[in-house]
């Protein structure tokens, strides 16, 4: 008896990716400093990192990580509900809640884990979710895992969102609005005031992913949703402007208690290790002192956007440190990315399925550690490519 290859589907899937020129692979690199890396022996100026304030190489964070490792060990050794809640975890959560102007905070091991498991814990099959079409895949995974009914409204189209809310006045167990504050692939923002108003008027839970704003925008850099009444849950991450690892949710004390008891992604995973907690503590301590760096980052972003637009490039509705150069065609996008690498610049091509078909782009992510000379180098390289 001849048996079928039980992994034939893998060969088929990978072949499809090869044929469509969308096969992804890992390309290891070695970081040098906040904005330079080495890949395949070549030093590259990095415009693809989310280390928006350069804190991943900050000596205060490194020292804190080393100190916490020496004092508490290399791992938390258990889940939070067993024996993995050290005082340092609880103290950090209290400081995060205070910094964000919220009642409570709860640590998670990653932004993807937080979104994919918190939403699944909040919703059931009788729930309705209305989410922006451009939300991160992690939010979609959480919604799908819940079994809730969901509709995606056009990007930042609050008229369509309100129409969905009006049509939803039936027997749903709960209604939830999910969106990002700063969109990860487009660098534009949601209309937070309008979302708060809609959630209040229609009795909807407002769930915001603030990952790309935390550290960069808002009061003391704690995000666009910090200190905002009317927002029910906010997800923040430490792997971007905080320069370390992990995530958190801020919410009411009652919601925190609920998640501790009903959120599988929190209950059944080992707590963040002490070194990570130490680095986060150090970053949180520094945040109020980094206003000059945030302002410089905004100025640099505005300058780069203006120059790119002067060359005729489409940067979408970006108004933050994330600047897409939307080229549309995948071949063209790969060509520019390859050219920039030849010039010693890392600027990764972002293609479907990460972004919608016909919107392939170079996603430029700026850091406050990028100097004017770094930007001039990038601008010059793109300008040269434009006339080749």
Specify whether 136 is catalytic.
yes
Alpha helices, H only, the chain:
8-19, 59-72, 87-100, 111-122, 137-146, 158-167, 192-202, 253-262, 264-267, 274-286, 291-310, 330-342, 372-386
| Residue 310 exposed, middle or buried by CB count within 10 Å (0-12, 13-18, 19+) | exposed
89 assigned to active site = no
Q: Which of 209, 210, 232, 330 is catalytic?
A: 209
Instruction: Give exposure, 53-87, as e/b (b: 16+ Cβ within 10 Å).
Output: bbbbebeebbebbeebbeebeeebeeebeeebbbe
Candidate list 89, 212, 370, 374, residue with the active-site label: 212
How far, CA to CA in Å, does 309 sit from each of 36, 120, 192, 231, 317?
Answer: 26, 41, 26, 35, 11
Residue 180 catalytic? yes
Per the annotation, the verdict on 12 as an active-site residue is no
Whether 159 sits among the annotated catalytic residues: the reply is no
Residue from 132, 180, 186, 220 carrying the catalytic annotation: 180
Examine the residue annotation and report whether 240 is marked as an active-site residue of this protein: yes
Task: Please indicate whether residue 124 is annotated as part of the active site.
Answer: no
Q: Which residue(s) pair with 214 in the sheet?
A: 222
Catalytic annotation, pick one of 110, 127, 132, 136? 136
Alpha-carbon distance 186 to 257, whole Å? 34
Contacts of 255 (CB under 8 A, 6+ apart): 104, 232, 233
CB atoms within 10 A of CB 387: 6
Q: Starting at the edge strand that comes first in sequence, how are the strands of the sheet with 345-346 ordered?
A: 30-31, 36-39, 42-46, 345-346
Catalytic residue among 184, 301, 367, 368: 184
Catalytic residue, chosen from 48, 49, 50, 156, is 50
Cα 322 from Cα 365, distance rounded (Å): 5
Catalytic residues, by residue number, are 50, 136, 180, 184, 209, 212, 240
């Amino acid at each position: 008896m001849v048996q079928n290859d039980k992994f034939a589907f893998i060969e088929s899937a990978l072949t499809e990716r090869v044929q469509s020129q969308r096969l992804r692979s890992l390309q290891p690199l070695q970081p040098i400093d906040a904005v330079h890396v080495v890949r395949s022996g070549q030093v590259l100026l990095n415009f693809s990192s989310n280390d928006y304030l350069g804190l991943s190489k900050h000596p205060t964070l490194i020292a804190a990580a080393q100190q916490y490792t020496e004092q508490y060990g290399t791992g938390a050794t258990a889940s939070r509900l067993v024996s993995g809640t050290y005082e340092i975890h609880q103290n950090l959560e209290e400081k995060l809640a205070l910094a964000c102007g919220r009642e409570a905070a709860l640590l998670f091991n990653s932004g993807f884990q937080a979104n994919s498991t918190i939403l699944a814990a909040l919703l059931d099959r009788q729930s309705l979710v209305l989410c922006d079409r451009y939300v991160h895949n992690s939010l979609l995974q959480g919604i799908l895992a819940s079994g809730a009914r969901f509709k995606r409204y056009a990007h930042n189209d609050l008229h369509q969102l309100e129409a969905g809310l009006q049509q939803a006045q039936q027997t749903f167990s709960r209604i939830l609005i999910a969106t990002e504050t700063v969109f990860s692939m487009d660098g534009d923002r949601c209309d937070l005031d309008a979302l708060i108003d809609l959630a209040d008027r229609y009795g909807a839970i407002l769930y915001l992913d603030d990952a790309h704003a935390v550290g960069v925008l808002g009061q003391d850099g704690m995000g666009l949703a910090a200190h905002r009444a009317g927002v029910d849950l906010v997800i923040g991450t430490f792997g971007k402007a905080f320069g370390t690892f992990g995530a958190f949710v801020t919410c009411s004390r009652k919601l925190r208690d609920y998640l501790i008891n009903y959120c599988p992604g929190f209950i059944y995973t080992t707590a963040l290790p002490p070194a990570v907690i130490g680095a986060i503590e150090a970053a949180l301590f520094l945040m109020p002192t980094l206003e000059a760096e945030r302002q410089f980052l905004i100025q640099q972003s505005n300058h780069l956007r203006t120059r790119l637009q002067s060359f005729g490039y489409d940067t979408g509705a970006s108004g933050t440190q994330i600047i897409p150069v939307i080229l549309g065609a995948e071949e063209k996008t790969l060509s520019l990315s390859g050219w920039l690498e030849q010039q010693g610049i890392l600027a990764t091509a972002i293609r479907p399925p990460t972004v919608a078909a016909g919107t392939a782009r170079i996603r430029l992510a700026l850091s406050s550690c990028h100097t004017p000379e770094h930007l001039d180098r990038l601008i010059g390289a793109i300008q040269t490519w434009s006339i080749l």
